[in-house]
Amino acid sequence: LTGLASRIEALDRLSNKSTAIFYAGLFIMLLFIAIETSPIFVKLIAERSPYDFVLNKHEFAFRMNHNNYVAQLENATTNKIKFDTETGLYKTEITIAAEKEVSKQAIQEQLEQIKQEPLSWKTLLKKGKLFDV
């Protein structure tokens, strides 16, 4: 092993043999932890600074902009759904009306045909269309 791993292993062997080296290593580790965490503790203890107010203002503006964007998307989606629903409903109503008209015309033509050439029971039985009239 070379590099950092060998140095850590050597420190472990030395700290097992000497309590002074163990406490020195522990002190250095705690010193690094204190140095790394001190800005967080200072920030938690300190009063609000002008930066905090500016940051709060910026975050509020961002949040309002995001809410506005989401509201616009919701409105666009609602309008599209309403448009699709109403046009689909209109198309369905027109299709139903057209189908009714076609069916009505077909029935009228069949009635006219029946009126012009009356069918006898024998003809209906021969054709097998007794109930299809």
Helices H / strands E in the chain, number of each = 4, 0
pLDDT truncated to tens, each residue of the chain (133 aa)?
Answer: 578 888 888 888 888 888 888 888 899 999 999 999 999 999 889 888 898 899 999 999 999 999 999 999 999 999 999 999 999 999 999 999 999 999 999 888 887 877 777 666 666 666 655 555 4
- Quick one: pLDDT at residue 56? 95
**Contacting residues for 15 by C-beta, under 8 A, at least 6 apart:** 21, 22, 25
Q: Provide the whole-model pTM.
A: 0.46
What backbone phi and psi angles, to 5 degrees, belong to 130? -65, -40
- Quick one: pLDDT at residue 83? 97
- Quick one: pLDDT at residue 133? 47
- Quick one: pLDDT at residue 129? 59
- Quick one: pLDDT at residue 120? 64
